[in-house]
Structure 1
Amino acid sequence: MEHRHLVLLRELRDRGSVAAVAEAGFRTASAVSQQLRSAERDLGVALVRPHGRGVRLTDEALLLADAASDVETALERAQARLDEFRGAVAGRVRLAALPSAAEYLVPLVLAALADEPIDIELDDVDVSEEDFAQLATDYDVVVGHTMRARPPRRQGLSVQPVVREPLDVVVGAGHRWSRRRTLRPAEVIREPWIAPPRGYPFRTLVDTIERVTGERADVRHEVRDNRVVEALVVAGEGIALLPRFTTRPRADVRLLQLRDIDSARLVVAMSRRDRAERAVVRRVVAELQRAGAQVARDRSA
């Protein structure tokens, strides 16, 4: 049983198709298919079966794909122990982060690691809550968010909490609520809304308000970018939800606390289990958590 065959099966499980595995590994689809046939000969079991225009892993292959994760996790754990024993925590970390969280987390992390031999390659990404987990296939650490009170469990992933950040209701300075400090769900549900598409955490909170009040929200505009949301609120197009830590004070908007409902998002750091064992990845995640704690203290002071 060769380690490379196990890795191939794990890749096929995570990426879903031979073409996707080939693209990620800069190979041709025929080369991947040839490796699959070689693995079947060596292991003596069928690993794939036809499914539509592609293939699907057999139960034996899924078992081996899980085993690949266990093997790689054990290897990375052993390497991490050796690196820490030698005082050699170093390397490259590919980091994908939600822009509204990266804005206050990443500068602090980079400053903290400036004198260490750790190279962070940053990409900003804004996808639905479920799609953040899929990014862990290509990145060492993925910073995403959820409206759940605890980090969600993801098969094959390590998910660590970074910081809880309140979402506030934002209204224009000329709105009748502009002198208020707090609002209740029964009040906000009757206003026109600017919200992200379904599947995004901020929209999940709007869905929760609907369930609590038993009424439907009037979502006039579906917008992802928080700065565009602010501009539409100022223009009088509706109210919205924005994160407290990165919504800057300005004269033409007001941030109001939403009462009687848990309105905080949980920012999390996700990694594939084997990558989470790398000493350098653990170092970066620890700094993300420290940065989150610092920002939470500073913004609540």
Structure 2
Amino acid sequence: MDLQVLRWFQAVADGATVTETAQRAHITQPALSRALGRLEREVGTPLFTRAGRALRLTPAGRVFKHTLDQTLDRYDVGLRAVAELVDPDRGVVPLAFLHTLGTWLVPPLISGFRGAHPMVRFELRQHGEAGILQSLLDGVVDLILTSGNPGHPQVRWHRLLVEPLRLAVPSAHRLSHRKRIRLSEVAEEPFILLRSGYGLRTLTEELCRQAGFAPRVTFEGEEVETLRGLVAAGLGVALLPPPHAVLSTLDAVTAPITPAHHLEVTDVDATREIGLAWLADRSLPSSSHAFHQHVLAAGPTLVPAAYRTSRR
């Protein structure tokens, strides 16, 4: 089987159209269709069925793709391992992380690592917990920085630190003069939450449940800083990581409204664990292994002392 044809099959099976795949491959659409036809004859059964203008995998196609994804992933890992063996200073580290970690944790981790490995490249992806976990399971990335142990049997996770959550309230809110608050005190307030599928959304709902109520959701978003801005605009309250110094400075200069106030929560354990995860049964290429070791050593030292926790 032609390796390139297998990659074309994978692209179409993942949802790309034949036209899009042919354009990316710089071949004609009929040529790609013929190549996929040859692949089906080699496999011995149809792999696609047509649904309107789209192609859908047959049951045999789904089985074939599952095995092919694993095979191509191992092949690509092998290529990277050989390339890094030949030139260990020019590897690639595919990394995915939560949006909220991109402003304070990820930059110094990468900067500190590249001080010793200046030629290593990073392929970075941002998403919520579900998205970055899927990227890891699919072999798209080698490592993920996420909130809480994913609890997946194929994944190993190491806690780096515990990050406190604060109740963000508008500057004109009746409680904004306070430093501490019981979460139960805002049971009747409108809440601004991340969309379903984000770990902070699940954690917020659980903490509210522990405090004796279900949050009344008025707005949903996909970025913590968007939620913080909506709170500052007076549209509700939210449980959020505290703003970091860099963001606070920028907010003071550019924000058209008074920033939100962030209050310590005292009646529930309003914290979340931040950690590094990788696949348990997959050997990391040398560059990713070196970054893995760097994160385990440097991660807990890059945050204020109040955030730190003992390693497990």
Per the normalisation by structure 2, the TM-score is 0.69
Residues 251-282 of structure 1 show CA distances to partners (whole Å, capped at 9, x for unaligned) of 962331364356415455578x98x7433233
Decide which moves more: 20-29 or 212-221. Answer: 20-29
* Amino acid in the other structure paired with 2:21: A
Question: Using the alignment, how far apart are the partners of 1:96 and 1:231 within structure 2?
Answer: 25
Change (3 A) 1:211 1:53: farther
Contact 1:189 1:209 in 2 (8 A): no
Identity of aligned residues (%): 21
Q: What SS does structure 2 have at the residue aligned with 1:38? A: helix
* 1: CA distance, partners of 2:230 / 2:35: 53
Partner residue of 1:241? Answer: 239
Matched to 2:62, the amino acid is L
Specify the code of the residue in structure 2 equivalent to 1:118: V
Q: Which residue of 1 aligns with 2:15?
A: 16
CA distance in structure 2 between the partners assigned to 1:20 and 1:261 by the alignment: 52
Aligned ranges for residues 10-49 of structure 1 at < 5 Å? Answer: 10-13=10-13, 15-19=14-18, 22=21, 25-27=24-26, 30-49=30-49
**RMSD, aligned α-carbons:** 4.2
Conserved? CA contact 2:18–2:29, under 8 Å: yes
In structure 2, the residue matched to 1:118 is: 120
More moved, 91-100 vs 36-45: 91-100
For residue 44 of structure 2, what is the amino acid of its counterpart?
A: G
Contact preservation (8 Å) 2:159, 2:273: no
CA distance in 2: counterparts of 1:57 and 1:260, whole angstroms? 48
Deviates further, 99-108 or 262-271? 262-271
Find 1:255's aligned residue among 250, 259, 263. Answer: 263
Per the alignment, do residues 41 and 19 of structure 1 end up closer, same or farther by CA in structure 2, a change over 3 Å counting? Answer: closer
How many angstroms does 1:81 deviate by?
5.9
In the alignment, structure 2 segments of 5+ residues that lack a partner are 253-258
Task: Describe the shift of the 1:91–1:21 C-alpha distance in structure 2 as closer, same or farther (beyond 3 A).
Answer: farther
Aligned to 1:280: 287
Between the aligned partners of 1:88 and 1:239, the Cα distance in structure 2 is 49
Question: CA 1:255 to 1:29, structure 2 compared with 1: closer, same or farther past 3 Å?
Answer: farther
Structure 1 residue identity aligned to 2:165: L
Deviation at 1:201, TM superposition (A): 2.8
Supply the AA of the counterpart residue of 1:183: R
Report deviation, 1:291. 4.2
Q: Which of 165, 168, 178 in structure 2 is aligned with 1:167? A: 165
Displacement of 1:37 in angstroms is: 0.9
Q: How many angstroms apart in 1 are the aligned matches of 2:123 and 2:80?
A: 20
Please list every run of 5 or more consecutive structure 1 residues that lacks an aligned counterpart in the other structure: none
> Aligned ranges for residues 1-301 of structure 1 at < 5 Å?
1-13=1-13, 15-19=14-18, 22=21, 25-27=24-26, 30-76=30-76, 78=78, 88-93=88-93, 95=95, 97-104=97-104, 105-116=106-117, 117-122=119-124, 125=126, 127-133=127-133, 140=141, 143=144, 145-146=146-147, 149-153=148-152, 160-161=157-158, 163=160, 164-172=162-170, 175-176=174-175, 178-181=177-180, 183-184=182-183, 186-209=184-207, 211-212=209-210, 215-244=213-242, 246=244, 253-257=261-265, 259-261=267-269, 263-264=271-272, 266=274, 277-295=284-302, 298-300=305-307
Secondary structure of 1:238's match? coil
Give the drift of 1:205: 2.7
CA contact (8 A) 2:163 2:272 kept: yes
